[in-house]
Structure 1
Amino acid sequence: MSLAPRAVLVHRTSEYEELLTRHGTYGQAEFFLSSRGRGIREVAERHHRVRRALADVAAAVPSQWRQARVERADLHRFLFAAEDVVVVVGQDGLVANAAKYLSGQPVIGIDTEPGRNPGVLVRHQPSVAAALLPAAASRGCAVEELTMVEAVTDDTQRLLALNEIYLGAPGHQTARYRIAAEAPDAAEAQASSGVLIGTGTGATGWLRSLWRQRESAPVLPSRADPRLVWFVREAWPSPVTGTSLVEGELSRSQRLRITVESDRLVAFGDGMEGDALDLTWGQSVSVGVADTALRLVV
């Protein structure tokens, strides 16, 4: 007999909760904010809206289903199962944070603050959760498959991201490496502030800010486009480093290959620096379109 579906509710600690943890009491948190020209009432109201949305979604889970909750900081140690329906309750960025730990499970994005969030990935209100959950568990569920990017090291470590992968030095200092967009023998030694490789979903954020600075940049992909674009940040020439390979695009069959020539570089996805790959001298990384896509319930 197959297991009943499990609804996994993904959320994150609110600013209000972080303030209480840091300062101990409501009054001390209020004093801290007022000393910086802010009030605690708006922060508390936002916290209560999110908590109400989380409670409404939890109440909408079918009674025969199992249920679990995971906070953003614990995603890297939470074990998702094949029968899970993942419900992200929060901001668009929280969907990206969860995506890297999934392997094809359907994802429902619940917008807790309509009008404040762009709503690109959290497209639904808490009131429709009761209808969406059974639909998401069915075979005919309508989903949008969003392209993801992966980095694979020569010792088989793998990193997934929905928006972008950054490869560079910790602290964003000078990174030294060799980069090849096609044949390995066409690699160029570079010194730069790092390399950013992103998807169509990431094309509305960090990736777009780099794209706008380039006159000859490739066309940015759409969210479901199985294509990536990449940019080198602030490469500079020297007798031993070049600047000819600073941007490009990758189809599903193409890979960007980077060989580390620094004592230590890191690769992390979607801004989660705490969950990064550590890369040492001589280690190589291959970056391209991931076989896994985010299945976002529409």
Structure 2
Amino acid sequence: MALRTRAVLVHRRTELDELLDRHATRGQAEFFLRTRGRTLADVEARHEAATSARSAVAASVPSDWALAEVERTDLDRFLFAPEDVVLVVGQDGLVANVAKYLDRQLVVGVDPEPGTNLGVLVRHDVGDVAEIIGSLAAPRAGAGEGPFSAVRCDELTMVSARLDDGQELRAVNELFLGHPSHQSARYVLGADGGAERQSSSGLIVSTGTGATGWCASIAHDRGGRRLPGPTDRALAWFVREAWPSPVTGVTMTEGVLGRGGELVVTAQSDRLVVFGDGMEADRLEVSWGQEVRVGVAERRLRLL
């Protein structure tokens, strides 16, 4: 028996929600904003736009589908199913946040404020959603590898980090490996058959999707290394501010990893961390002597 399709609506709390959590009343929130040259009316307008967008997207879901909503901070506790269609209402960063928890589910990035947030990952206005879901609700073509496997979409490369104890973390933009307080991290870096002991501000390993962000600024400073595209099965990596000393080197500071290639990092600091797409709270912790292997993830983000 075919499983019931479920639409999962992903969103994040609005600025107004967070202000009211912090300041308790609208009056206090308004005073706080006024001291910073802003108005409560502007924040309320954006809140209403986001709320209306979520309601419109939810109303577009067919009656024979299930519907679930999940807030950004609960993503690591939410169980996605293979038959889910993931509707992300927010900015590019929210799509990146949810990507690491998915395994070939179809993702639709929706702009809650028409024309404001359209970008690399958020590609559709709220008005497009009904038509998109209508096309998906039509008889499915091809069961293949799972529901909606025949739907035409971009399959964006992701990066993964795996610890020697089996823990794994993925990201759609980039991974950072370094000291949790961004002090100097000490480790042995292995790549392309070579190895070097280093002390640095950490490593950035980026996909082609992330190559327009943090990675782009580093590449620019290094002379404009050519970076992979979003669907290329390749990653760019950079060591930040490597420090030369009698026991640490600076000869292995950048490169490109193809499919099957990997960086091997062995910690020589008491504590290092690995996190992806700016979500520092969701991270791997690496202790002295532990090994981290970073490469192209088997999973990809299926983005409509």
Query: Where on the TM-score scale, by shorter chain, does this alignment land: which range?
Result: over 0.9
Question: Aligned to 2:205, which of 197, 213, 216?
Answer: 197
Task: Supply the distance in 1 between the matched residues of 2:86 and 2:151 (Cα, whole angstroms).
Answer: 14
Alignment TM-score, normalising by the size of structure 2: 0.94
Question: Aligned to 1:157, which of 167, 189, 199?
Answer: 167
Task: Supply the distance in 1 between the matched residues of 2:86 and 2:76 (Cα, whole angstroms).
Answer: 15
Q: CA deviation at 1:194?
A: 0.2
Establish whether residue 272 from structure 1 lines up as the match of residue 279 from structure 2: yes
Task: Tell me the residue number matched to 2:254.
Answer: 247
Task: Tell me the residue number matched to 2:22.
Answer: 22
Check the 8 A contact 1:100/1:162 in 2, yes or no: yes
Q: CA deviation at 1:134?
A: 4.2
Establish whether residue 52 from structure 1 lines up as the match of residue 52 from structure 2: yes
Task: Supply the distance in 2 between the matched residues of 1:204 and 1:136 (Cα, whole angstroms).
Answer: 31
Runs of at least 5 residues in structure 1 that lack an aligned partner in the other structure: none
Q: CA deviation at 1:37?
A: 1.5
Q: Which moved more, 1:124-133 or 1:200-209?
A: 124-133
Letter in 2 for 1:92: D
Task: Supply the distance in 1 between the matched residues of 2:92 and 2:18 (Cα, whole angstroms).
Answer: 20
Establish whether residue 214 from structure 1 lines up as the match of residue 225 from structure 2: no
Alignment of 1:104-115 (within 5 A): 104-115=104-115
Q: Find the residue that maps to 1:135 and give its secondary structure.
A: helix
Question: Aligned to 1:144, which of 144, 149, 154?
Answer: 154
Letter in 1 for 2:272: L
Task: Supply the distance in 2 between the matched residues of 1:35 and 1:126 (Cα, whole angstroms).
Answer: 34
Question: Aligned to 1:283, which of 275, 282, 290?
Answer: 290
Q: CA deviation at 1:280?
A: 0.2
Task: Supply the distance in 2 between the matched residues of 1:115 and 1:208 (Cα, whole angstroms).
Answer: 24
Q: CA deviation at 1:136?
A: 4.1
Task: Supply the distance in 1 between the matched residues of 2:110 and 2:117 (Cα, whole angstroms).
Answer: 11
Alignment of 1:166-181 (within 5 A): 166-181=176-191
Alignment of 1:91-106 (within 5 A): 91-106=91-106
Check the 8 A contact 1:106/1:136 in 2, yes or no: no
Runs of at least 5 residues in structure 2 that lack an aligned partner in the other structure: 141-147
Deviations 1:48-93 (A, max 9, x none): 1111110000000000000000000000010000000000001011
Check the 8 A contact 1:237/1:243 in 2, yes or no: yes
CA 1:40–1:251: 2 relative to 1, 3 Å? same
Q: CA deviation at 1:195?
A: 0.2
Q: Which moved more, 1:88-97 or 1:36-45?
A: 36-45
Letter in 2 for 1:278: E
Task: Tell me the residue number matched to 1:35.
Answer: 35
Q: Find the residue that maps to 2:96 and give its secondary structure.
A: helix
Task: Supply the distance in 2 between the matched residues of 1:162 and 1:142 (Cα, whole angstroms).
Answer: 19
Question: Aligned to 1:296, which of 275, 283, 303?
Answer: 303
Q: Find the residue that maps to 2:28 and give its secondary structure.
A: helix
Task: Supply the distance in 2 between the matched residues of 1:59 and 1:112 (Cα, whole angstroms).
Answer: 14
Taking every aligned residue pair, what percent have the same amino acid on both sides?
57
Alignment TM-score, normalising by the size of structure 1: 0.96
Check the 8 A contact 2:118/2:124 in 1, yes or no: no
Check the 8 A contact 1:111/1:119 in 2, yes or no: no
Number of residue pairs the alignment of both structures matches: 294
